[in-house]
Amino acid sequence: MINLDGQKAIVLGGTSGIGLAVVEALHMSGVEVIAASRRGQISNELTGVKCEMVNVLDRDGLDKLFARHAPFDILVNAATGGERAIGPFMDMDLDAFQGSFAKLWGYVNSVQIGTRHMSDGGSIVLISGFPARKSLPGFCAISTVGNAVEGFARAIAPEISPRRINVVSPGIIDTPMFAQQGEEREQFLEKMTRDFPIPRAGTPDEIADGVLFVLRNRFITGTTVDIDGGALLP
């Protein structure tokens, strides 16, 4: 297992939700962390964590970000890339469906450009989601994009070796992605997870633990690690 202390990491989408939890976990592990996102600011500032503003669809901006901090050892991309279409496929605006692939293009951009600036022993982690392999009603676009993300990591893992790439696939996680508040939020998350073997929403910290696991384990590449409360089970 790799000791992450002293390494340098860039976390895209690192200022909220799962990305912020990964930033905090890496920081606590002694990693020099750069948290980057479209807003470029963490609400609860962490001493020693640098914040940068970047859009994962802006290739020139990504290249400049990576070059400023090269060489780095860890790249985590938790950025959504933009809005994602939800609803029945036959009623869906196909432009919105196509727009959901901004997440994939952001991942592709960051991996190709970022790999050029990484150390030889570097490691990349992308964030997918359980709908990639078990879609909920109305999640066809999200499911299709997730399939593409996981297939992308498997396809390129041999090409970028000795650097490693893996995917962490969460279940329903209590993050700002869900807009509901208070009792409405509690009821929504309870409804979404009541039939899972672990009938609750996960926390961003639980996903961050999985990210650190694949970063530390030298014998994992091209793999998807599920942290989903059993969401994929029958």
Q: Is 77 within a domain?
A: yes
| Secondary structure of residue 168 in the 3-state scheme | strand
For position 176, what pLDDT does the model report?
Answer: 76
Rounded mean pLDDT, 71-86: 94
pLDDT reported for residue 212: 98
What pLDDT, on the 0 to 100 scale, is given for residue 182?
86
Distances (CA, A) of 58 to 22, 34, 171: 23, 18, 29
Q: CA–CA separation, 107 vs 148, rounded Å?
A: 10
In a domain, 3, yes or no: no
- Domain membership of residue 88 (yes or no) is yes
Residue 44 confidence (pLDDT): 65
With a cut of 90, say whether residue 218 has pLDDT above it: yes
Q: Which two tokens stand for residue 177?
A: 């992605």
- The pTM of the full predicted model, rounded to 2 decimals, is 0.94
Task: Give domain status of residue 2, yes or no.
Answer: no
Q: What are the residues whose beta carbons fall under 8 Å from the beta carbon of 100, sequence distance 6 or more?
A: 83, 84, 85, 141, 142, 144, 145
* 176 found inside a domain: yes
Band the pLDDT of 1: cuts 50, 70, 90: confident
* Local structure of 69: helix, strand or coil: helix
Determine, yes or no, domain membership for 1: no
Instruction: Place 183 in a pLDDT band, splitting at 50, 70 and 90.
Output: confident
Tokens of 210: 């999985």
Beta-sheet strands, E only, within the chain? 8-12, 32-37, 50-53, 72-77, 118-127, 164-170, 224-227
DSSP summary character for residue 14: T
Per-residue confidence (pLDDT) for residue 42, from 0 to 100: 82
For residue 3, CA distances in Å to 66, 73, 165, 212, 217 come to 23, 12, 18, 10, 10
Q: What is the pLDDT of residue 43?
A: 66
Instruction: Please state the rounded mean pLDDT for residues 175-200.
Output: 88
Q: What is the mean pLDDT of residues 187-214?
A: 96
**Averaged over 227-234, what is the pLDDT?**
96
Check pLDDT > 80 for residue 229.
yes
The dihedral over CA atoms of 20, 25, 29, 30, expressed in degrees to the nearest 10, equals 10
Q: Is the pLDDT of residue 101 over 80?
A: yes
Q: Which pLDDT score is estimated for 110?
A: 98
What is the rounded average pLDDT of the residues 169-182?
86
Q: CA dihedral defined by 190, 195, 198, 202, rounded to 10 degrees?
A: -40
Calculate mean pLDDT across residues 182-202.
92
Q: Quote the CA–CA distance of 158 and 84 in Å, as a whole number.
A: 30
What's the structural domain count of the chain? 1
Compute the mean pLDDT over every residue in the chain, rounded to the nearest whole number. Answer: 95
Domain coverage including residue 174: 8-225
Asked whether residue 167 is assigned to any structural domain, the reply reads yes
Flag whether 232 is in a domain.
Answer: no
What are the two backbone dihedrals, phi and then psi, of residue 157, each rounded to the nearest 5 degrees? -50, -45
Instruction: Decide: 226 and 10 in contact? Cβ < 8 Å.
Output: no
The answer for residues whose C-beta is within 8 angstroms of residue 6's C-beta and 6 or more apart is: 30, 31, 32
- What CATH number did the domain enclosing 80 receive? 3.40.50.720
Percent of the chain with pLDDT over 90: 86
Q: Which of 31-45, 172-186, 205-219 has the lowest mean pLDDT?
A: 172-186
pLDDT in tens, 18-60: 999 999 999 999 999 999 999 888 866 777 899 999 999 999 9
CA–CA dist 115, 95 (Å, integer): 31
